[in-house]
Structure 1
């Protein structure tokens, strides 16, 4: 079912690879990144103010953490970012990661752990895999042997986690608990539904449904807990990377977009490409837990 929405561009960010959008419930702002331009953006919907900070490398994500910091995934490892001082500080490298890999997407779970994925920066080799950062320690957890990882995404109860294999056009799901993660199993074969598009960043809503951006698909799609496609919303951009629920009631959808694979003719067709988009969501999201750094 296609849902009609009045989608607007709230920032003309001109992102090459906009990603990692999320709502910071404490500060009441949106954070997102432009991976290829090494930019960490924030946007205040109350005032419309926005700006970016240059990161010391390709930055895949930034998550609010305890102590007023953000935990960020860069190409060479995990960093903290201090929004007051506007400074990045390296925390640790990811053990065993190939030099040509980078970090791409992440989420928190109810226990303050961070689940994140790595990928080949050239998007060719299946050298990516998923990890968990748990109070200062990193360990491999979840699927491996993936060219482009996306997600993970954790549901509100914290008993399910979703992993995306973008190149294979598949989303997987696994059981989750405080003790760890189970074996990943098939959830959605998006290639059967959208053969010309690729599943990008996922997020779970308050009704336990999964939303995913569709790269080269000009839309976001919503799936039931059993993996049935229940809705799509068209976007005024071609390459949709990730969606988040934000605002005081978590009733606004925020969407990041990309331009790095677009030609001048594509840009004429999709003038909002590279921007941060927003719309009134038909369902609500929920607050993401803070990262526990130690």
Structure 2
């Protein structure tokens, strides 16, 4: 089953567009370009975009309770103020691992900030997940992989989904009230030739969407891990979607030019753009990080 074809709404040519998040207070979509060291904000009502330069690779951006943002720089978690483009360090969980960087994140229903790290060379299994809540940042008891993506949470916050991108596996695990995670169970295995599972997002019906890097698509899986829908794109590297707009019924998708040679870029002139499509379902309201 497929939906209407996605269309480009912002020609930005991102090297590695990632981490889209709809921020209701701004009525805007925020996302990052990891390799270009950029934060982007797109206002769909006015069709206007703004950008900021970051001091290094940035994996994600999420809103905080003080009306600012938390961001995941390679050096650690920082607070970002768009008004003066300032960055204030909050925590460096992997200061002893300079080859790692942050890659993806989300806010759990309880306001805790969860994020993952990865080996920037995409070779060593040095990527871990962390939970940052009320000034305390702790490593989550999940196995290390080379490239983490996610996590994402079920609507009630009792299940966490996390991705081993190079292993082409999406896992699920129970989450206790204190943030401890149970034994991971395989949720979905991406078959050969279908690309690599990238950022996951959960909709209002509890189904999981994942971008497929190198797979020309995003997919929707039901809570049992059954493939329900695939939306094809005119570009190969689809990284992650976010639900936004009126009633959270618009899907925004970030894409990437990373890894594409001259021929591929010629055949994919929209690679790296921000896309939009009708997902046929609403998303979950965005959460605000309590840090």
TM-score exceeds 0.5: yes
TM-score, normalised to structure 2's length?
A: 0.97
Structure 2: gaps spanning 5 or more residues: none
Equivalent-residue separation in structure 2 for 1:66 and 1:36 (angstroms): 28
What corresponds to 2:280 in structure 1?
Answer: 282
Instruction: Indicate yes or no: 2:264 matched with 1:271.
Output: no
Equivalences for 1:141-156 in 2 at 5 Å?
A: 141-156=140-155
What corresponds to 1:177 in structure 2?
Answer: 176
Equivalent-residue separation in structure 1 for 2:111 and 2:202 (angstroms): 17
The secondary structure found in structure 1 opposite 2:46 is coil
1:87-130 deviations in whole A, cap 9, x for unaligned? 21111211465110000000011111011110000111111111
Equivalences for 1:194-273 in 2 at 5 Å?
A: 194-273=192-271
What corresponds to 1:57 in structure 2?
Answer: 56
Equivalences for 1:18-167 in 2 at 5 Å?
A: 18-95=17-94, 97-167=96-166
Instruction: Indicate yes or no: 2:187 matched with 1:187.
Output: yes
The secondary structure found in structure 2 opposite 1:261 is coil
Equivalent-residue separation in structure 1 for 2:278 and 2:96 (angstroms): 39
The secondary structure found in structure 1 opposite 2:246 is coil
The secondary structure found in structure 1 opposite 2:140 is strand
Runs of 4+, deviation exceeding 6 Å: none
Structure 1: gaps spanning 5 or more residues: none
TM-score, normalised to structure 1's length?
A: 0.96
Equivalent-residue separation in structure 1 for 2:68 and 2:278 (angstroms): 29
Deviation at 1:270, TM superposition (A): 1.4
1:213-236 deviations in whole A, cap 9, x for unaligned? 000000000001000001100012
Deviation at 1:269, TM superposition (A): 1.6
Deviation at 1:142, TM superposition (A): 3.9
Deviation at 1:196, TM superposition (A): 4.2
Deviation at 1:5, TM superposition (A): 1.3
Deviation at 1:6, TM superposition (A): 3.2
Task: Say if 1:25 and 1:248, in contact at 8 Å, map to a contact too.
Answer: no
Equivalent-residue separation in structure 1 for 2:82 and 2:67 (angstroms): 8
- The worse-fitting range, judged by mean Cα deviation, of 92-101 and 277-286 is 92-101
Equivalent-residue separation in structure 2 for 1:132 and 1:179 (angstroms): 10
Equivalent-residue separation in structure 1 for 2:206 and 2:178 (angstroms): 21
Deviation at 1:259, TM superposition (A): 0.7
Deviation at 1:207, TM superposition (A): 0.4
Task: Say if 1:219 and 1:232, in contact at 8 Å, map to a contact too.
Answer: yes
Task: Say if 1:15 and 1:34, in contact at 8 Å, map to a contact too.
Answer: yes
Task: Say if 1:158 and 1:177, in contact at 8 Å, map to a contact too.
Answer: no
Task: Say if 1:81 and 1:89, in contact at 8 Å, map to a contact too.
Answer: yes
Equivalent-residue separation in structure 2 for 1:248 and 1:94 (angstroms): 37
Task: Say if 2:91 and 2:137, in contact at 8 Å, map to a contact too.
Answer: no
Q: CA RMSD in A?
A: 1.2
Task: Say if 2:170 and 2:189, in contact at 8 Å, map to a contact too.
Answer: yes
Equivalent-residue separation in structure 2 for 1:11 and 1:178 (angstroms): 40
